[in-house]
Structure 1
Amino acid sequence: MGSAVWLFSLVVSIHIYIIAAATNPDDASALRSLMDEWKNLPSNWGSADPCDDKWVGIKCNDSRVTSLKLPSMKLEGQLTGDVFSLSELQELDLSYNEGITGSLPPGIGNLKKLINLILVGCGFFGPIPDTIGALPQLRVLSLNSNGFTGPIPRSIGNISTLYWLDLADNLLDGEIPVSDGPTTPGLDWLVHTKHFHFGKNQLSGPIPSKLFSSEMTLIHLLFESNRLSGALPSTLGLVQTLQVVRFDNNSLKEDLPLNLNNLTSLNDLYLSNNRLTGPLPNLTGMSSLNTLYLSNNSFNSTDIPSWFPTLSSLTTLVMEDTQLTGQIPASFFNLRRLETVVLKYNSLDGTLDIGPGVSDQLEIIDLQGNSITDFNNTGRPYTFEIILVDNPVCQETGTANPQPYCTLPPPDSSPLYSTPPQNCQPYSCGSGQISSPTCRCAYPYTGTLEFRALFFSDLGSPTPFVSLEQNLTQFFKFPEFPVDSVSLRNPRMDPYQYLLLDLELFPYGQDRFNETGVSEIASAFSSQDYKPPDMYFGPYVFRGDPYEYFSDGPAHSSKSSVGIAIGAAAGASVLFVLLVLAGIYAYRQRKRADRATLESNPFAHWDPKKSSGSIPQLKGARCFGFEELKKYTKNFSEANDIGSGGYGKVYRGTLPTGELVAIKRAQQGSMQGGLEFKTEIELLSRVHHKNVVSLLGFCFERGEQMLIYEYVPNGSLSDSLSGKSGIRLDWARRLKITLGAARGVAYLHELANPPIIHRDIKSTNILLDERLNAKVADFGLSKPMGDSEKGHVSTQVKGTMGYLDPEYYMTQQLTEKSDVYSFGVLMLEIVTARRPIERGKYIVREVRTCMDKTKSLYNLQQILDPTISSGTSSKGVERFIDLAMRCVEESGADRPTMGELVKEVEDIMQMAGMNPNSESATSSETYEDAAKGADLHPYSDESFAYSGGFPMSAAKKELH
């Protein structure tokens, strides 16, 4: 009896030990469900146990998953409901994965223990759900740099714990929400929040005075580049903790509040490019003010304010076109930190006297376009730039040798800061490697630091960048991070007055990072754990680049030693019990693995040697063997590597006949994109048209997925429109390409059997052959229309933002008119050479807003590509634009069919004096001449990448 009790206790103890070591079953199930949804997951996902085997990006407390952080992993897919069953999750960070798309589901509100929700630089779109306000412990909410639309959820006001709120660089619209009574929340309830980042959206309406109060502890208030109107409320002066305020590039008007000088902690104040009126406020006492931008407003004509010389911390003063008059006091130039003074296009007069004791930090005084009559420097040399062009002092007649300050200085061609090598000689590295500051060849993790406010303006001074470099090196030092050294280069200002800096972080002890290393580094930026030196730099956002060079992931852990120890201790009887249990477990696991393989492998029952049953009827496409393709590509050599995407790589191959082919090879053994792989084989093997790329065959053996296409030598239409390919596209060639692409899509809709809806018409999927004939490519998202689906197909929304039909998005009902909408966007891209979404502006909306049919070229000269708008032969442009705008009508019923579109493009070509059925060149220069020197290939970036959702480019995303 005693031995039986002992044996039972031992078995129970073993069982408890195994359970304690394993991940909670619900959490494990949720993570494995994500594996079915997401592509490009880290290499050790899928090993035995998420917590025990330390899956990349997963942290656990006991058996519960508490952290899911996978930034910069090139993930693709959508955020599914499975994540929201991780009830103990405290951190969710999927930043810098543009392939994570779709809407943010309302289920996010179920993660009640979430502290950090960070989705920076993904591909999300649609409204931010109100359930976001149901996260009672949230401290960091970063949803910036996505494509979110709709209003700011007022429910965010319920999150009293919120410290960081960043919704910048989206497409949010509507008014700023404030509370309405004790039960309706608003942003004014966030009295403990330090950061309001809402720049680069489409917010409109007045700024509510209720938004601000003396209880608030804000330090960064960023609403730049929106559509806000009305006055800047005086309640802003109550928030005395503010350090950075940006309301530039809005439509604010009326007088500035007189109590702005209450903001004695303010470092940066940006109010340029509004419609502000009235007198300039008195800023006396703002001793911390570092940067002041007030340009392009309509202030009352006023003399230079007496408070200018009292701003003891001022480095940058920019007040262009602000109706300033009078003479600048010489004492102003004595401010010891002054670097930049820009007072262009005002009415300043008298003598410019810089006086003695001028700041040794001063770099430029730009006073062009004023009424200054004299310049007095008493013969003293000065080292800074003075610009007095278009002033009376520079307009005197008879001056044979103009003074230096009377000519515009040439553009500064001297290189700006770049991290120097550390007492070593840099190597000349190959294979994409870069020499680090310590002169080691490696594959760095790269990205761009974007500073939304600065406390200096002299980009030629190395001091701030050296400080930043040292700060980065100290923070990311080994062993806290696997970083050997950091490098900065190419500082530059963008149109939003943000400082951009290219950053490279080099791996420690090897030539590349593993997945865990990149995840940890990227998360330090996305979560704002890294903080730059506040002496020079204000708030920032990091934009991580995809990392292409991961080393092998961590090895899977083994529990065999545990089993041996248990067997030795328990004896033969316990070993027998465990073996039985292990056998049952192994059998179930094998069955589960077989089912998973069957589900994930669309060709599990497909024998390519047969031609009946479930096998696709392949017409013209044949099954290649792996060894054949290995031979044709010289063992998939680097020399034949011509592109890559999320699925894997593309190689150039040469068949025994000498024919060139393009071989698209998925990541070996991954089976990711399997359904798209099958779709493309089944569809392309049935379609044959000169304007559709030809599928020659496929390979499906040894765990490989490969598609073999005709080789299309002149890249994508996107490459040519952007200038990357070196191919010059005049108006005639653009019409020819449009017609070819339209004929290809019309064939799919009207002549293919069954009809096919492409679902991803875009410029990267239009390829150009040696004579610049257009070929429609990439059928991974395409959908055949069966007899039972005439009219529409109800399906999950897929496509590319910017080209996506809003009617399809709203109804989830796919029709041929969805392709027509995408083609209309493509036509606008062809005449403008702009991406559909560029700098937050949607091309359809831009054309619709600016279009005036009473004027030449419909008043679109500033939007059209100069090659067209200034060309001598651009007949038919206006009719082409009319056709494009009909294609992007809100209702599909109002759009033409592709067959009708083809006929209209043919008519436009005839109007332009072209023969739409001619294969010859369309101008004095042949197609071959136009393409000469082009060395880019279509099978790169997103041209042939499989997509399970909305692949987003680095450009800004917007939905019509």
Structure 2
Amino acid sequence: MAWQRVYLIGIILAFSSCCFFSLLASGQIEQMITHPSEVDALRAVRRKLSDSMKNLNSWKKTDPCASNWTGVICTLDSNDGYLHVQELRLLNMNLSGKLASELGQLSHMTILDVMWNNISGSIPKEIGNLASLKLLHLNNNNISGQIPPGFSELLDLVHFLLDNNNLSGYLPAELSEMPNLGILQLDNNSFQGTSIPVSYSNMPKPVKLSLRNCNLQGEIPDLSGIPGLLFLDLSSNQLNGTIPTNKLSENITTIDLSNNQLIGPIPSNFSGLPRLQRLSLANNSLSGIVPSNIWQNINFSATATLTLDSRNNFLKNISGSLNPPSNVSIRLEGNPVCSRANELNIIQLCGLNAGDDETYGSSNDSTTVTCRTQSCSVHDSYEYVPESPVPCYCAAPLGVGLLLRSPSISNFRPYTNEFQAYLTTSLSLDLYQLSIGSFIWQNGSRLRIYVKFFPQYSNSSSKFNKSEIQRLRDMIATFSLPSSDIFGPYQLLNFTLVGPYADSAKIPIKTESVKGFDFIELYEATSGFSVTTQVGQGGYGKVYKGILANGTVVAIKRAQQGSLQGQKEFLTEIELLSRLHHRNLVSLVGYCDEKANRC
């Protein structure tokens, strides 16, 4: 039984009744309003892709923006009156095939995200024409070939994620010319023994440079001139020579140079880095002494830790007394110095040092003991709010799962308060309304986090209302949170609506100037959706002529059983149509989305 979903499209007064019937009968009520060149480009993209799971079935509809093709997000350009593709999000859809060169025609696009598919072939150089592009996520595919040097023309690009592909060739030195590049992540590719361009030392804005396991050779360039660098991973390559001696950014949290062919001493520049969390130099050919002062000037909080991994080198001695504080973990096994472990009192540093890797965690439950004498169980899915300003406040949380795709840290615990402040400030919530339930690191330095949002304290209600649920869901799901250098891009994994929120899984959209109609109003306006009032039919459903109680003549588009359009697409289309105002387009008067009316 299909839900009764109905659009009311008002007829522009300049149209005569004859024109009205002609317009509907010819099927032009869904006329093409996406820019024609972009329609052609998207169709070319579709032809190059193989969609075994049929995730792109909606791409068979007439117009990409007006009929909500999956993953296509558009914006209206008032200068030319057309809709333009702003985002293309096709992540994790089991797509194969190749990327079409026609992507370069989507000139308004700011986000191109096709991560976690099976796409092969090379990267079209035409993507370098997208002057407005900010996020380019092509990671976790089977893309091969050279990174186009012309990508240096992407002056607005902030995130460049191409890790876990089959890229080859060389690292383009021209990428250093990108003025706003914040994350360059190319892990697990094979650049055929090329070196890291010296020009990368002059990159103005990177916060994360991750080139792990890329078959890189040569020496490490001096990266001390990158002012905001937080995360550097050059591990599992064939880099040689000595480690540059100039001090890296004071903001850096992670330095991983392990599994290379580096020689010489451990330089003193690793001391005095106040935010350092991990320094890994394991499995090289470093020699000389083990520094005993790297942790100096680090202001350790209760949760901050520092891991120093120098296993399997040729370190023979220690400078001074190696007596690290409890939150500093040192690993020295596989070095000659461990043959003198008893003499130097470093036995504990020369064996397996379990527990130095952060794998999971949970926030502390600050609920007082007195609350436990009461019970939230009388309310299904309710629980105590851990940080509530009112003791023992019992409320229904919203569970949300997030994946941080490329954070610039390697230890999350010291940043839990900062992450809590980031989320609540971005969502206009109080700090106590967010609890971090658990987190776990995944392969590729990705962090999965489960959080709970609690309603604001109130004497009248202890759960979110529907409009607040919608606001939170839309802000998170549409990537409206501001960019964060520390936490990087994110992905919404789940937005759980259970218990008292089960009836909110289908939330009618609240749009200014658009009215929600009762189904009975539309039933009466069309004489019970009589065949005599039907004026058209499409893949979504049938179109009827209706006359509202106030005499307004409208076109009513009603869903039918088997329609390809789901709840998300329906709500997105309502919001899109509500914003469209053009002299050649009919205007949206209202909608009906009643769960109770099924047939």
Question: Quick one: which amino acid aligns to residue 445 of structure 2?
Answer: Q
User: Amino acid of the residue matched to residue 352 of structure 2?
Assistant: L
Look up the match of 2:19. none
- 1:416 corresponds in structure 2 to 361
Alpha-carbon shift at residue 117 of structure 1 (Å): 6.7
Q: Which residue of 2 aligns with 1:382?
A: 325
Offset of 1:443 from its aligned partner?
A: 4.8
Question: Which residue is equivalent to 2:264?
Answer: 326
**CA distance in structure 1 between the aligned counterparts of 2:447 and 2:228, rounded to whole angstroms:** 21
Aligned to 2:238: 298
| Per-residue CA distance 1:353-394 (angstroms, 9 max, x = gap) | 233844335611110111111122436553411111111111
Contact 1:417 1:465 in 2 (8 A): no
In the other structure, the counterpart of 2:214 is 274
Q: Do the aligned residues in 2 keep the contact of 1:477 with 1:484 (CA within 8 Å)?
A: no
Output the CA distance in 1 between the equivalents of 2:452 and 2:314.
47
> What is the deviation of 1:249?
1.2
Q: Residue 158 of structure 1 aligns to which amino acid in structure 2?
A: Q
2:447 paired with 1:506:
no
Change (3 A) 1:294 1:83: farther
- Which residue matches 2:4? 46
Of 480, 484, 488 in structure 2, the residue corresponding to residue 529 of structure 1 is 480
Which residue is equivalent to 1:169?
A: 116
Q: Which of structures 1 and 2 has the larger relative contact order (alpha carbons within 8 angstroms, sep 6+)?
A: 2
Q: 2:133 matched to which residue of 1?
A: 193
Distance 1:249 1:204 in 2: 12
**Which secondary structure state, in structure 1, belongs to the residue aligned with residue 219 of structure 2?**
coil
Distance 1:195 1:400, change over 3 A: closer
Q: Give me the whole-angstrom Cα distance separating, in 2, the residues matched to 1:435 and 1:63.
A: 52
In structure 2, C-alpha distance between the alignment counterparts of 1:446 and 1:319, rounded to whole Å:
38
Is residue 315 from structure 1 mapped to residue 250 from structure 2 by the alignment?
A: no
Q: Distance in 2 between matches of 1:406 and 1:584?
A: 82
Instruction: Check whether the contact 1:116–1:140 (CA below 8 A) recurs between aligned residues.
Output: no
For residues 767-815 of structure 1, what are the alpha-carbon distances to aligned partners after superposition, in whole Å with 9 as ceiling and x for unaligned?
xxxxxxxxxxxxxxxxxxxxxxxxxxxxxxxxxxxxxxxxxxxxxxxxx
Deviation of the 1:510 alpha carbon: 4.9
Larger radius of gyration: 1
Letter in 2 for 1:267: V
Cα pair distance change 1:377/1:389, threshold 3 Å = same
Match of 2:158 in 1: 219
TM-score by length of 2: 0.68
Corresponding residue of 2:593? none
Specify whether residues 221 and 84 from structure 1 end up closer, same or farther in structure 2 by C-alpha distance, changes over 3 A only.
farther
Cα 1:107–1:331 change in 2 (3 A) is same
Question: How has the CA–CA distance of structure 1 residues 515 and 416 changed in structure 2, closer, same or farther, with 3 Å as cutoff?
Answer: same
Whole-angstrom distance in 1 between the partners of 2:29 and 2:272: 59
> What's 2:97 paired with?
150
What amino acid is the match of 2:408? F
Instruction: Report the Cα offset of residue 417 of structure 1.
Output: 4.2
Residues 459-517 of structure 1: CA deviation (Å, up to 9, x unaligned): 232xx2212212322343479xxx99222122221001112111222356656667665
Q: Please say if 1:468 is aligned against 2:419.
A: yes
* Matches of 1:274 and 1:83, distance apart in 2: 53
Larger displacement relative to structure 2 (439-448 or 156-165):
439-448
1:539 maps to what in 2?
489
The 1-side partners of 2:263 and 2:68 are apart by 53
Query: Letter of the aligned partner of 1:164 in structure 2?
Result: I
Q: Secondary structure at the match of 2:251?
A: coil
Contact 2:438/2:449 (CA < 8 Å) preserved in 1? yes
1:868-896: CA deviations, max 9, x gaps?
xxxxxxxxxxxxxxxxxxxxxxxxxxxxx
Out of 156, 180, 190, the residue aligned to residue 251 of structure 1 is 190
Confirm whether residue 454 of structure 1 aligns to residue 407 of structure 2.
yes
| Distance in 2 (alpha carbons) for counterparts of 1:371 and 1:83 | 76
1: distance between equivalents of 2:67 and 2:336?
A: 64
Structure 1 residue 558 displacement after superposition:
6.7
Q: CA RMSD in A?
A: 4.3
Matches of residues 834-849 of structure 1 in structure 2 within 5 Å? none
Q: Given residue 586 of structure 1, which amino acid in structure 2 is its aligned partner?
A: S
Alignment-mate amino acid for residue 420 of structure 2: E
Alignment of 1:521-600 (within 5 A): 521-531=472-482, 534=484, 536-545=486-495, 547-549=497-499, 550-551=502-503, 585-589=526-530
Matching residue of 2:275: 337
How far apart, in 1, do the equivalents of 2:475 and 2:524 lie?
A: 44
Matches within 5 A, 1:648-797: none
Partners in 1 of 2:249 and 2:140 — Cα distance?
Answer: 29
Which structure's residues are more often helix, by fraction?
1
Distance 2:180 2:237 in 1: 26
Tell me the SS of whatever aligns to 2:139.
Answer: coil
Structure 2 Cα separation of the partners of residues 582 and 285 of structure 1: 69
Match of 2:594 in 1: none
The structural deviation recorded for 1:335 is 2.0
1:504 maps to amino acid: K
Cα pair 2:218 2:241 within 8 Å, conserved: no
Preserved contact between residue 92 and residue 116 of structure 2 (Cα < 8 Å): yes
Which residue of 230, 233, 237 maps to 2:169?
230
Is the Cα contact below 8 Å between 2:399 and 2:450 reproduced in 1? yes
Q: 1:114 to 1:310 in 2, by over 3 A?
A: farther
In the alignment, the residues of structure 1 paired with residue 344 and residue 292 of structure 2 have an alpha-carbon distance, to the nearest angstrom, of 25
Does the aligned pair in 2 maintain the 1:143–1:168 contact within 8 Å?
yes
Q: Secondary structure at the match of 2:452?
A: strand
For residues 55 and 184 of structure 2, what CA distance do their matches in structure 1 show?
32
C-alpha contact (below 8 Å) 1:368/1:387 kept by paired residues:
yes
For 1:487, the equivalent position in structure 2 comes to 435
Q: Is the 8 A contact 1:160 1:192 kept in 2?
A: yes
Q: Does 1:209 align with 2:149?
A: yes
Q: How many Å separate the matches in 1 of 2:341 and 2:516?
A: 85
SS state of the match for residue 349, structure 1? strand
In structure 2, the CA distance between the partners of 1:350 and 1:401, relative to structure 1 (3 Å rule), is closer
Give the match's secondary structure for 1:139: strand
Deviations 1:121-143 (A, max 9, x none): xxxxxxxxxxxxxx862222222
User: Helix, strand or coil for the counterpart of 2:238?
Assistant: coil
SS of the residue corresponding to residue 396 of structure 1 reads: helix
Q: 2:314 aligns with which of 349, 371, 382?
A: 371
SS at match of 1:211: helix
Give the 5 Å matches for 1:29-44: 36=2
Deviation at 1:333, TM superposition (A): 1.4
Q: What SS does the corresponding residue of 2:245 show, helix, strand or coil? A: coil
Offset at residue 559 of structure 1 (A): 7.6
Hey, what's the Cα distance between the residues in 1 that align with 2:524 and 2:277? 76
What amino acid is the match of 1:155? Answer: E
Distance 1:419 1:528, change over 3 A: farther
Q: Aligned to 1:275, what secondary structure does the other structure show?
A: coil
Give the unaligned 5+ runs of structure 1. 1-34, 37-44, 52-59, 65-81, 91-99, 121-134, 179-185, 564-580, 594-599, 601-670, 674-960
1:896-935 paired onto structure 2 within 5 Å: none
Shift in Å at residue 672 of structure 1? Answer: 8.3
Q: Give the one of 272, 278, 285 matched to 1:347.
A: 285
